[in-house]
Structures are given as structure tokens and as C-alpha cells.
Amino acid sequence: MKEKQQTLLSRGHIFACTNKTERECFDRMLFSTNKVYSEKALGVKKGDILFLYNLDNDTLYGVFQAKSDGGKDIIPEAWNGKYPYQVEAEKIGEITSAKKIRKALSKFGISWKNGLDEERTKLLLEYLKNPSEFDLSVAPSLKIEENKPPLEATTLWNYPRQSYGKLSKGNNKYPGVTPAFIIYNLIRRYTEPGDLVVDPMAGSGTTLDVCKEEGRDCIAYDIAPTREDIIQNNARKIPLSDNNVDMIFIDSPYGDNIKYNDHPDNIGKISAETENFYDELEKVMKECHRILKPGKVLGWLIGDQWVKKKFTPVGFNIYQRLSKYFETVDVISVVRRNQTSNTGIWHNRAIRFNFYLRGFKYLFVMRKPSFDSEQSSKRVVNWTQYPRRKGNKSKKGTTNEI
Ligand SMILES: C[S@@+](CC[C@H](N)C(=O)[O-])C[C@H]1O[C@@H](n2cnc3c(N)ncnc32)[C@H](O)[C@@H]1O
């Protein structure tokens, strides 16, 4: 067993189970997870070291090896389809277990939610050999490395910085650069590894960098490319075939408030106070609609404008145009930070002169209607009238308060 372990790749992964699901893991020799941790399962390569962790009784089992790469629905009927991100496992030698493992995991800086690097994998292997003899006090104390942002559960997103992780994403000096967290959250929710993502207005290339790290293909365009992997193109006409793209992200100009470049086709030279601005962006929307696969998602980030005592609801106007082509999945509010006006002086002025600084941007999450939903919107629905429950005191014709 020792020799076999030494020749293995050094990456490790812990898969979680519960008292309810543990038996099936062993019976099928299949470890699995749900959508929240899908990336973890999909990142497993054949030959990686695996551990199984029962969260209910705090017991770790090992050592296993991945018999396959991680994938979706390797055995679709397992756990009644509840945990579709799976990897086939095989044991290496006899299975050993360690109870009350939480303390050791915390000491080694291990969270079962993250993959294990070489150092942590080795520590855990060593620990599992003889948990009762292992002297935790002399083991190195490591910190949990959170190099991926959390997935958002609400419609209010607030980021302290532009980027995350060890590699930078985009260029935080680029005017109007997008927080990488936004793109990360969108592609994690709406795409799978290997899917094609397009950014028609890529700026400093944040979308490219996030996609690369998450294993998504990405084509990025800009009217004035800032780097070699961004293709020069006017977003009003995207050189891709119809129904071909899995997700689009756009952080478009919000008007002429930022000087991006002098290209004559730069939409950021048109004022958001004119209809022309929206007409030109509508051309981009049409193109996005054409190249997206039916049922797939477009994320459009936009902010309102307040200039020279005049408010322009850029967000509402953009949403109105988007709604001509797309169904709404949701509207997210992204907190605006790090703006030049986010200073004490400006806050003071806003109060003294009775105006507001922009505090948020809209992220419109829109879906190209699928063929089915186009059909269903034409369907006539016959509503059934149900009698009111007994004990409901509201009078006929009045609305129940909930
Ligand atoms: C808000 S910035 C994008 C920021 C980018 N997401 C990033 O993280 O760096 C808007 C971009 O739209 C580009 N743009 C403006 N008009 C365009 C057009 N007609 N076609 C393509 N890109 C355009 C600008 O050059 C600018 O880089």
C-alpha cells in the first residue's frame, strides 16, 4: 500500500457524506456532491487521492483513489439523483478511519469544501495511518486557504475588492473594470466546465481570466483591445454563428462618463441622456440574442447616471430594451465601491447639496427564451378555482393578508 501511495499524484479531495448517504458511497464505491460543490467534483482527475468524511459522526475514511475523472451523472440514479457530481473511487489497501477528526482538519488548515494541496494531502495520509498516535501539537498549523469567492445566495452583492485568488483577473487600473466576483458567480451558476462564454466588451479581460481559471472557453472582444487575447470587434456585429454560445457577460459603458478610448465606434462616447445610446446598445443586445443558445443566460451590468443635477435611469432604460428579447431570470444589485466619488468630501457634498451618490449597479440576469417557453407562453392556461380553507375568516372578495 505504501508504494502505491507514493506513486500517486499528490492532490487530494475530501468528499462529504452523512449517516444517511454513507452506505451508498461504499456500496457503489462512488463519492458525490451537489451543485454547490460541483467544481470540486469536476476538478478530480483519475488517480487523485480521495477521502470520505461523514459529517454527522465526524469520521474520516481513507485511503481511496479516483478511478475516473470527476463528472456529472456517472450513475444518474445514485442517491435518487440528489448528488449528481460524482467520482468513481477504489480503495488503496484496507480502509482505515479516524473519528473526531474536526480538530485535526482545523490544525492542518483543511476544509472538506476545498481541494487539498500536496502538503495537506500528505498530512492527512500520515494522520490516517495512526490517528491515536499522531501528535497534533508538533504538526504544522496551516490556515484554510479560501481562494474562491462564495457563491451568492441573495440579490445583493457586495465586494471589497476587484479580484480574488492568487492570479489577478483583468486589470484593476482599467477604467470601469468589472469585479471578478460577479463573473465568477455568473459562470458558476449558469455554465459547466467546457462551456463557451462570450464577452463582447471585454475591456481589460476580466471575463477571460475568470473563465480560464474555471475551465470555461471564452471569446472576448473589444472595440479597442487591451491585450492579445482580446479580439478587435464592434459589439454591434459579433462574428459568431447563431445559437452557439452558453453564456454572455457584458459590462457595457453606462454613458459617456468614462473615457475608454478614441475609437469612433466606442459606444462609451455617446451620452446616456440620448436615445441614440440605447439604440446602439440595442444592436448589441440583438447580437447577443442571436448568438446565445436558447435557454441560456446573458448577464448585463449597468449603472444609473446623475450628472449636473440630472438623474438618468440608465438601468431602467437598458432593462426595458433587454426585455424585448429576453426573459428575466433576476435583477441583482451590486454595491458600488471604489469610485472616485466614494470619499468623505463627496459624501459631505451629497448631504449639503441634497443629492445622492450612486450606491449600486444593476446586474440584469436575462435568459434567451427556449423553444419550449416560447410555445408555453402561447399556451392558454385554464385556472382552477379552489374553495377557501375552513377557518379562513376573511370575507368573500377580500384579499387574504399573508
Ligand atoms: C465597462 S468597460 C468593460 C470592463 C471589462 N469588463 C473589464 O473588466 O475590464 C466597457 C468596454 O466596452 C468597450 N466598448 C465600447 N464600445 C464598444 C463597441 N462598440 N464594441 C466593443 N466594445 C466596446 C470599451 O472599449 C470598454 O472597454
How far apart CA 189 and CA 297 sit, in angstroms, is: 10
Q: Which of 100, 146, 89, 145 is nearest to 127 (CA)?
A: 100
Residues 115 and 169 in one domain: no
pLDDT at 397: 39
- Least confident interval from 13-27, 61-75, 137-151, 190-204: 137-151
Residue 82 Cα to ligand 1 midpoint, Å, equals: 40
Q: Which domain holds residue 246?
A: 156-378
Q: Same domain, yes or no, for 120 and 37?
A: yes
314 shares its domain with 168? yes
**Alpha-carbon distance 232 to 234, whole Å?**
7
Share of residues in the chain with pLDDT > 90 (%): 72
CATH number of the domain residue 129 falls in: 3.10.590.10
Closest Cα to atom 12 of ligand 1: 201
In a domain, residue 143? The reply is no
Instruction: Give residues (CB < 6 A) around ligand 1.
Output: 170, 174, 176-178, 200-204, 206, 221-224, 234-236, 251-253, 260-261, 265-268
CATH number assigned to the domain comprising residue 353: 3.40.50.150
The phi-psi region of residue 259 (left if phi > 0; otherwise alpha if psi is between -120 and 50; otherwise beta) is beta
pTM, rounded to two decimals: 0.82
- Mean pLDDT across the chain: 90
The atom number, within ligand 1, closest to the CA of 267 reads: 16
Say yes or no: 199 and 81 in one domain. no
Do 201 and 303 fall within a single domain? Answer: yes
Q: Is residue 227 part of a domain?
A: yes
Residues 121 and 229 in one domain: no
Q: What is the pLDDT of residues 244-273, one digit of tens each?
A: 999 999 999 999 989 999 999 999 999 999
The reported pLDDT for the residue numbered 402 is 34
Count structural domains, the chain.
Answer: 2
Please report the atom of ligand 1 found closest to the CA of residue 171.
Answer: 9
Amino acid at position 400, single letter: N
205 CA distance to ligand 1 middle (Å): 10
Going by alpha carbons, the residue nearest to atom 26 of ligand 1 is: 203
Q: pLDDT digits over 282-318, tens only?
A: 999 999 999 999 999 999 999 999 998 899 999 999 9
Centre of ligand 1 from the C-alpha of residue 245, in Å: 19
Same domain, 122 and 195: no
- Closest C-alpha to ligand 1, atom 13: 201
Segment 358-374 mean pLDDT: 88
Residue 221 Cα: closest atom of ligand 1: 21
Q: What is the pLDDT of residues 205-229, one digit of tens each?
A: 999 999 999 999 999 999 999 999 9
183 & 248 share domain: yes
Q: Could you identify the atom of ligand 1 that is nearest to the CA of residue 203?
A: 27
